[in-house]
Structures are given as C-alpha cells and as structure tokens.
Amino acid sequence: MALTFEVAGGGPLRGRLRVPGDKSISHRSIMLGAVAEGVSEVSGFLEGEDTLATLRAFQSMGVSIERPGVGCVAIHGVGLHGLQPPKEPLDLGNSGTSMRLMAGLLAGQAFDTVLVGDASLSTRPMRRVIDPLIRMGAVIDATATGTAPLRVRGGQTLCAIDYHLPVASAQVKSAVLLAGLYAHGRTIVTEPAATRDHTERMLAGFGYTVERERARVGITGGGRLRATCVDVPADLSSAAFFLVGATITPGSDLLLEHVGINPTRTGVLNILDAMGADIQVMSERTIGGEPVADLRVRYAPLHGIAIPPQWVPLAIDEFPAIFVAAACAEGETTLTGAAELRVKESDRIQVMADGLRTLGVAATPTTDGMVIRGGAMGDGEVDSHGDHRIAMAFAMAALRTQGGVRILDCANVNTSFPCFAVLASGVGLSITER
C-alpha cells in the first residue's frame, strides 16, 4: 500500500525514546532459537515486517513460536535436525538478511525448500552466498542472474571449507557459519575487514563453541545448540536517524535509551564524532553478551571529512543518514569503498544523490561512494524508491528546511521501524502519514 511522509521544516528534537529492537539480532534469535534444544525466550524483539517474515518461515517448518506480549517471543526449538518440510515456498518479503542466512541454514536440511521475496528482494544479488555454499556441497538453484527465487535442495552432505570473503559481508559470513553447523569438519571464515559479529556472539550464547582469532572465525560441525534467553537491545541503525536529526537541528537535546553499541556496528558513531557531533555514550553495560549504552545527542555544527575506508563496513546500513549529516556540514565529505550500497533495497548511492540534489545539495555519486558539499537545504519532494532507510533519512533532512519535505513510497519503513512516525512525533518531528 502506498504511503507518503509529509515532514515540516524546523525542530528541535528533544526528550528521550527507545527505538525498536535490533533487526540483525532479532533475525538471528529466531533462527538459532528454532534449531536449539529447549525453549528460548526473547525480549525486545523487533516486530517489523522483515523479522516477522523470518518468524513465519520457521513456523512453516514446524517450529512453535509464541508471542505472549509486545516484543516478547518464546521459541520452542526442535534441534538442528528437527525442522519439517514447508508445504509452500517461504516468502521472505523484503528481507535480504532472511534469505541469505537461511540459505546457509537450510543447505544442511534433509528436505527441499524454495525461498522467494518481493519485487525488490528478487533483484538483489545472491550469488555471493550461493557460491561458497556450493563449495561446501550445497545444491542451490537461482535465476540466470543469481537472484531469487532460490531452490535449496536437501539431503546433501556438507563439508567444511576455509573461506576468505572477497568482500566484507556479515551476511555471507553468517550463511557460511550456519551451514558449518551441518558440515563435516571445521568451517573457517576470514574477513578482509571487520563486519558485525552478532552471529558469532549468539552462537556462543546458545552454547556452541566458536573460535575467534582476529579476522578469522571458525566452528566445527556436529554440535548442539541449547536454548537461552535473548535481550535484544535497541537498534543502532534505527537510532542513527535520530542521532543525525538532533545533531543537525539547533536546540536539540535527545536521549536514546538501551542502544546496542557492538563495536562491529559503531562506524556511524565514529563518523559523526569525526565530523564534530556532540554524542555522549552513557551507562555502558553488557546485556546478553552485547554491549549496550544510552546515547545523549545535542546539536553541533559539523564539518566535512574524508570517511576512512576501515569504517565503511562498520556503518554500511547507516549511510543514508550519514549522507544527510554530510549535506548539513561545512565543506566536503567524501565516501569511497562503498559499492555495496548500490545493491541494497535500492541503489542507495544514486537514490540519495538524486534526493539531495532535489533539495539543492551538491551531491555527486561515484562508482563506490559519493562526494557531498554541504550547504543550505531547500524544500521539495523526493522518492525513497521503497527503501526504508532512505525514507527515514529524508524525514530528518526536513528539519533543516523551511517548508519541509514530501517523501514518496514509504510503506517499507515498517520492515525495520514500525511506528517510526509516532515515535518521531513524540520528540518533535512534525511528520504526517498520507
């Protein structure tokens, strides 16, 4: 269904809020809880369309999952070999995380499965996951261009591999490790740069031995997962929009509560800090193996920077918001080494550049990044192309305009941030859904 955001100019953002639970951790809690032994209880679960697609997929494979309250899930695990053949293809909607990780998990099952998605997901590259899984002995059919639908053929004997990721990708790493649960021998993945490590942390939390040494992570197949309790922190990727919105709007003073600050995810904090943002990390603690903190952010004038390449994989999902910060900064911001942004839910480099230029910002897309010269931002209408993160980024950009911004095609915001407009309104964003 069509949804348009109309966001008025001005601000500030003030108060406190807790954004929804981390999407990456929510996905993995369902996947690992389903193949663990016993009942796993999850609190803070993100009830977005992407994570609910994962939940429904495992229900279709015979896993009993209860939802006793908002953000609470009880997963009755069936063990590594207890999943049942689904009667229909598993529809994963818009969720690339679901499709890529589940391809690894399902490669070791005794039955065939078909993974499908919406129009956007059906254009996203899956060969990067399929190729290493085939090296392990999996049989996975895709389209001629390497996209969904994927047919994962069961009954295969998987063998461990020592895999060097050609491009830093947490999803590919996770798919190989999940297949490694079913493989003979020791599966090792080596990363060219650090990526989010939620899979490794959660495997250990479910009692599985994980070997980690610098850029290498390994597991040995044939073990067991034991049910556990998972407390999902607030999603830093969702918090990033408010970090940027408060940073760029004079008079803002906002407290974001219980935010996950896993060091493999904090590139956005590094980048904003280097640009001059005023973000205070408070009450640091560890919850369920994940570092958590409260983040206080106040308005601060920003300056452009050349974004260090080592921070790119640590902030890959937050660049739509970072581009807005760069548009409000004095001077020039340059990004390179982020070609991955072109194959997300949209081509985030081109779509963000088009939208920023519509609002009067000098934004030049490159093959693997962008050059943005900050300046005044005007009113206008932009098209998010159905990309949830682009829609929310331009909602924050409206704070720096006089008359506001109209943002088209925003329904997919519900994939990662249900009730975004309600929560944003509560801290001062004048936003209307049409």
Which positions are annotated as active-site residues? 317
Q: How far apart are alpha carbons 360 and 395 in whole angstroms? A: 16
Structural contact between residues 111 and 87, judged by C-beta atoms closer than 8 angstroms: no
Strand, helix or coil for residue 379: coil
Q: How far apart are alpha carbons 256 and 424 in whole angstroms? A: 12
239's CB contacts (< 8 A; 6+ apart) are 19, 256, 259, 295
204 membership: H or E segment, kind and range? helix 198-205
Question: Looking at 70-165, which runs of residues are DSSP E strands?
Answer: 72-78, 90-91, 113-116, 139-141, 150-153, 162-164
Strand, helix or coil for residue 410: coil
- Supply the DSSP symbol for 184: B
DSSP strand pairing (64-69 vs 72-78): antiparallel
Structural contact between residues 33 and 64, judged by C-beta atoms closer than 8 angstroms: no
Q: CA nearest 23: which of 213, 235, 167?
A: 235
Residue type, 352: M
Structural contact between residues 117 and 148, judged by C-beta atoms closer than 8 angstroms: yes
Straight-line distance from the first to the last Cα atom of the chain, in angstroms, rounded to the nearest whole number: 11
Strand, helix or coil for residue 304: coil
